[in-house]
Amino acid sequence: MLGRNEYSRATSVHVGDIERRLRSIEKRLEHAGGRASATATQTADQVGEVIVSALSSIAERFRGDASGMAEEAAKLGSAAAKLGNNALNRVSKEVEHRPLVTLAVAVGVGILVGLASHRR
């Protein structure tokens, strides 16, 4: 019986030692996990900031391109209006100088349009 008691005590000493070591490992893992979690959060924040910065610069480029396109469209619209006014002035001058020729051209165009629409 004495042998068993000594064995039980030795076993309980070893078990106690193992439990202490396990608690120490658990604490270390908790601490490392907390650091890893903080690092992961910081990394996620940094990645988020980089993405926001990149998207902001892309949006800024599109805004710049859009304003440039708006200016270009305004210039083209102005040029088209000038060309339209010039064409209208030339047609009105031709009508004043040659009214019968203009009337004949208008009648001819009307007949062609009528024939084209009648065939459909």
19-49 per-position pLDDT tens digit: 778 777 777 777 776 666 667 667 777 777 7
pTM of the model: 0.38
pLDDT at 7 over 60: no
Q: How many domains does the chain have?
A: 1
Coil, strand or helix: which one is 98? coil
Q: Which of 59-63, 76-80, 98-102 has the lowest mean pLDDT?
A: 59-63
Tokens of 31: 């601490």
Alpha-carbon torsion, ordered 96, 98, 104, 106, to 10 deg? -30
Q: Round to the nearest angstrom and report the end-to-end CA distance of the chain.
A: 117
Range of the domain at 34: 2-119
